[in-house]
Amino acid sequence: MLEVAEMIATTIKQIIPNAKVSDEFHDDASDMVGTFVVNQTNIESTYKPSSEQMIAFLFDVVYFPKSETGKRKRELRQTEEALISGIDPLINADGSPAFHVSRLESNTIDDILHVTFTVRARMAKFDDPYFSGEVSTNTNMKN
């Protein structure tokens, strides 16, 4: 859901002004220094009896630190704390709250920060234009 990814980028920029946010990884690791990458990892969909579809978008926000090796742990810890405390709720471009996040977790692997979370959306089920909802039967058929 592109709109949610854009809201994540907007929220990150509100939490950390002048943050570089991308939606893709670069081949050259030097291009990634100091960059957040918003990566949608999965979509889960379920239906409710009320004809609503519940969609869960799973995201992994990856941060590549810009500090030198000796200072990376501090930068990663500060960035992690800022994201964990400020990512919920996600905000629109106008600054209004849009979605709450759930299952918020963070992990640092090989000096790269991963913040994972889920955004849930409820969508109305659209009617099938080829099916009117009514079925008629003819019981007066002859063999």
- At 93-121, the pLDDT tens digits run 898 999 999 999 999 999 999 999 999 98
Question: Distance (Å, rounded) from C-alpha 117 to C-alpha 4?
Answer: 12
Q: Which architecture does CATH list for 2-124?
A: 2-Layer Sandwich (3.30)
- At 75-92, the pLDDT tens digits run 999 999 999 999 999 999
pTM above 0.85, yes or no: no
Chain-centroid distance of CA 76 in Å reads 21
Q: Name the residue ranges covered by the structural domains of the chain.
A: 2-124
pLDDT in the model for residue 126: 59
